[in-house]
Amino acid sequence: MTLLDLKPGKSGIITKVSGNGRLRHRILDMGMYIGKKITMVKSAPFNDPVEFAMNGNHISLRRAEAQLIFIHLIDND
Amino acid sequence: MSGKKLKIALAGNPNSGKTSIFNALTHAHQKVGNYPGVTVEKRTGYAHFQGYSIEFVDLPGTYSLTAYSTDEKVARDYILDNKPDVIINVVDSGNLDRNLYLTTQLLEMECDIIIDMNMWDEAERLGIHIDTDRLSEMLGAPIVKTIGHRGDGVRELIQAAIDLKEGKAKYHRHAPVTYGSHIEDLVVDLTHNIRRCRSCDGCPSRRWLAVKLLEEDIQTESKFIKDRHELIRLQKSIRKKVRHVKKATGEDPDVILTDGRYGYISGILKEVVSTKIGDRMRSSRQVDSILTHKFLGYPIFFLLLWLIFQATYVLGNYPMEWIESGIGFLSQTVSGFLPDGFFSDLIIDGIIAGCGSVLVFLPNIMILFMGIAMLEDSGYMARAAFLMDKLMHALGLHGKSFIPMIMGFGCSVPAIMATRTLESERDRKMTILLIPLMSCSARLPVYVLFAGAFFGARAGNVIFSIYILGIAAAIGVAQILRNTLFRQSVAPFVMELPPYRVPTVKSVTMHMWERASIYLRKIGGVILVGSVIIWFLSSFPKPEKYSQNYEAQVTVLHEDISSKDLSTAEKEELNRKIIGLDAAKSREDIENSSIGKLGYALAPVVEPLGFDWRLGVSLVTGFVAKEIVVSTMGVLYQIGENEGDEGYSLTAALQNPVHGITPLKAYAFMVFVLLYTPCLGALSAIKREAGIKLMFFSIIYQFALAWIMAFIVYQGGKLIGLA
């Protein structure tokens, strides 16, 4: 599953970041690396972009970009 | 001063509090400079400490040094080319893993760094405990704790930099970042391979270069390995090995390298950090749940924008009037000093009038930027982009483009400057090209005049339709641009949403002052030169002979007024005649001047649009500033500029059937004014922010667009029988 499949308040562990060079670099540089725990916070009014939290820091991704990040769902947060 | 010099660069992630550290270090004695050849700014500031004169350079905030964006390139090239003595790496203590990612890259370049654990208080509040001594030992770099906005720890920071420079630091070694087995072997192997080549100079470290080769960083490769055969040989040997690694791991080497760095960091952090991570956004949450609410989010956003615009134009009006009267006083004083003639005309009508008409907008610009600085510092700007991204993305733009576009309705100049908040060059340039299509406030007088004269009760709707047309044109042009010149995709919207913070007075005023000084320098430069040129063109050559002897007639009338016993009405009648004669004289002056001749020469160009030479000339002078369109028409249509109800009488003059202006022509003219070439001020802003090529592009495409649209309106209107 990808970040897009997370419901608000649910978390996952990043398992893979796909996408091409520049975009993937940007995502990795922002601290979304394999093994990192990430939580979905909420979507913007038209469902896009989406806000996530890692270690208490918040970032936003477009749906198209969130789709590139694969995760393992973790139960009860 | 003993003349000991120290060059210190500040590097760090965006939102790590780098700017507040920089300001504390330099006590804000900074000057803003443009880094040569690049549009991204670096700041320079100076300080003296223990006999050292220290130059601080604030590099753009970056997450990484892989040179994927302009900011990163500026930061990296500065480090590589200028070799600062010490780099202070500002780190957000509450977000160590991502912040130390940049640190690993700096260490890899074998820079002498000091790690500045900034926002230490926030980390403590979040329950993060960091064993800084152990961390310092492991990274091989001194660590200083600071609280930037209070200035705590800043002295220690400078002390540490001097100690490092003098070799007195407790921990100082270039600890290499080690990678996982697959890549580590490759890096080591490659490092040895490069060691044998003698063609690379000035390179920070061979190991670093090896890593860059693996990342296929073409720029760095060609920068440091000048021998082409050598480069090809290395690339060939790498390609084979990379393929091998790919097969074994299923990943590109650059991803494995990134993973390696993060792995290295989390390994270290496990030993030195004990934490019960809280959400630093907890207090921000409730604010955020309102500000980005599904339904309330947009109304609040527009309310905030509206407030800023109201403040800009309503509050700004008062100081604007003071400046205006100041300028009036200045030109009176000067005309008292200087004898009438060429020189005094040049100073008063050329320089003071020209620069003054731009200077009056300084308060508006400062207020606008105060509002923007507050939106930015508080963290709201990121939310505004978050709210607007969906809409803007549909247009091929970025969420952050929205604010500058809206500002364009006020004035293009600050709007173009505000595109700095956009990270990607492509989004920035595209936004800059579209901003002039947002109808700025200087064009409004033209619409008010023409709509009032030719559309009566429908004037309001007509003006509104012009604004809408501008927006529609921007959408259309955006679609064309994204399919031609700007094929690259919109920058990813991977964006930080920083916690809300109360903006500090110091930072807001500094921001305002920065913009004000840029604006003032522009007035002293391009505007000054432009005003002088336009004044010359509109004043020379003088007619050799006037059609009537205006001066004699005026003198006679003046004598009549003072000597004869006349009623008030008769006196007014004579005064009006004098004004009429003056206007007729300046009309002959203009007709005969270079600008007038230009107007005649341009007549064939604007004829298909239904404009006569007068409208043509006012368009040409409007190129300096759009406000001048109306004042030029005032002269050309024989209306004394000093008359109180000039708006009304200019309206009457335009309506005069002699000039043959119909509602259709009026509308075509408004469309042309909306779309045509940006004014001199906007063009110089475009040149400064996006380069000279884009400036010329802007001149040409907007002129073409304006001509075509006005042509369609006029000729199309005629075809369907409008007049």
Separation in Å, CA B37 to CA B7, B60, B76, B420, B689: 21, 15, 14, 16, 11
**How confident is the model at residue B282, as a pLDDT?**
63
**How confident is the model at residue B645, as a pLDDT?**
43
Please state at what angle helix B425-434 crosses helix B692-719, rounded to 10 degrees. Answer: 40
CB contact under 8 A, A26 and B266: no
d(CA B610, CA B712): 11
CB contact under 8 A, A29 and B66: yes
The CA-based angle B215-B221-B226, given to 5 degrees, is 165
Query: Nearest C-alpha of chain A: how many angstroms from B155?
Result: 29
The answer to whether B390 faces chain A, any CB pair under 8 Å, is yes
CB contact under 8 A, A60 and B493: yes
Of B63, B95, B258, the CB nearest to A57: B95
Written as one string, the DSSP assignment of B272-308 is: HEEE----TTHHHHHHHHHHT-TTTHHHHHHHHHHHH
**How confident is the model at residue B37, as a pLDDT?**
31
Substitution target from A22, A24, A26, A42 for chain B, most B beta carbons within 10 A: A26
**How confident is the model at residue B647, as a pLDDT?**
43
Question: Cβ of A7: how many Cβ atoms within 10 Å?
Answer: 7
Substitution target from B212, B497, B501 for chain A, most A beta carbons within 10 A: B497
Chain B residue numbers with beta carbons less than 8 Å from the beta carbon of A65 are 492-494
CB contact under 8 A, A45 and B98: no
d(CA A72, CA B18): 35
Substitution target from B70, B124, B249, B255 for chain A, most A beta carbons within 10 A: B255
Residue B122 CB contacts under 8 Å (≥ 6 apart), including other chains: B93, B94, B280
Query: Nearest C-alpha of chain B: how many angstroms from A16?
Result: 10
Contacts of B603-612 with CB under 8 Å at 24 or more apart are B605/B707, B608/B711, B608/B714, B608/B715, B609/B665, B609/B668, B609/B669, B609/B672, B609/B707, B609/B710, B609/B711, B609/B714, B610/B662, B610/B664, B610/B665, B610/B668, B610/B669, B610/B714, B611/B665, B611/B668, B611/B669, B611/B672, B612/B659, B612/B660
Longest dimension (CA), chain B: 109
In terms of pLDDT, which residue wins out, A17 or B174? A17
d(CA B496, CA A38): 14
Chain B residue numbers with beta carbons less than 8 Å from the beta carbon of A20 are none
**Contact between residue B707 and residue B441 where contact means Cβ atoms under 8 Å apart:** no
**How confident is the model at residue B33, as a pLDDT?**
41
Chain A residue numbers with beta carbons less than 8 Å from the beta carbon of B297 are 44-45
> What is the count of residue pairs from A and B with beta carbons less than 8 Å apart?
121
3-class state of residue B677 by DSSP: coil
Nearest CA in chain A to B105: A29
Nearest CA in chain B to A59: B496
Mean pLDDT of successive 10-residue stretches along chain B, which has 723 residues: 81 84 75 39 81 89 77 82 92 89 90 92 85 90 90 91 87 77 80 67 77 80 76 81 80 81 86 71 74 87 80 78 87 84 80 76 79 81 85 85 82 80 82 93 83 87 89 92 82 77 80 78 73 78 79 83 79 80 77 82 89 86 79 66 49 79 93 93 87 94 96 94 75
**How confident is the model at residue B278, as a pLDDT?**
58
What is the CATH code of the structural domain delimited by A3-74? Answer: 2.30.30.90
Separation in Å, CA B3 to CA B27, B29, B83, B112: 21, 19, 19, 22
Query: Nearest C-alpha of chain A: how many angstroms from B461?
Result: 31
8-state DSSP, B639:
-
Domain ranges of chain A: 3-74
Q: Is the ipTM of this complex over 0.95?
A: no
